[in-house]
């Protein structure tokens, strides 16, 4: 009788331990997903901000510039590429953060006449969005 009670107790303890381990595993997985969602949300907001800033700079005309910074801290090896694409008239944000690759695309509200890009990393956190009047058109560019 005493041996049976010990085996029952050990089995119950084993089942509780396995359940606790599974709950811990699920919690860690959910934390990783939440961090990824946070990164994607920040990149989406950043892309919308860049899109709106491009429209503002374009509307102000030649000679107007705005300095932008990315909204979070990048670690060594992380990078963000901001591309003004004239072939599809979109603003692309391509990022490599914590070894994961993200891409966000926003349609530009104003025409983009030439493709420009800027690469941001831990040492280069800001860039300029500038406008210039050329041939009767307002050209918007990104630069360091």
Taking the whole predicted model, whether its pTM rises above 0.75 is answered as: yes
**Dist CA 89 CA 69 (whole Å):** 22
Tell me the per-residue pLDDT of 10-45, one tens digit each, with 9 for 90 and over: 888 888 888 888 888 877 777 778 888 888 899 999
Q: Which residues of 57-93 are buried (b: 16+ CB within 10 A; e: fewer)?
A: bbeeeeebeeebebeeebeeebebebbbbeeeebbbb
Structural domain harbouring 58: 2-143
Number of domains in the chain: 1
Query: pLDDT tens digit string along 58-69?
Result: 999 888 899 998
């Amino acid at each position: 009788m005493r041996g049976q009670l010990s085996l029952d107790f050990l089995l119950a303890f084993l089942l509780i331990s396995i359940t606790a381990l599974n709950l811990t595993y699920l919690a860690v997985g959910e934390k990783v997903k939440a961090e990824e969602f946070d990164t994607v949300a920040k990149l989406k907001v950043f892309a919308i901000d860049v899109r709106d800033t491009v429209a503002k700079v374009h509307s102000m005309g030649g000679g107007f510039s705005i300095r932008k910074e990315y909204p979070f801290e990048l670690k060594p090896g992380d990078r963000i590429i901001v591309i003004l694409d004239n072939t599809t008239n979109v603003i692309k944000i391509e990022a490599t953060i914590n070894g994961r690759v993200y891409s966000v695309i926003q349609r530009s509200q104003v025409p983009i006449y030439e493709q420009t890009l800027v690469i941001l990393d831990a040492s280069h956190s800001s860039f300029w969005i500038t406008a210039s009047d050329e041939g009767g058109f307002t050209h918007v560019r990104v630069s360091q």
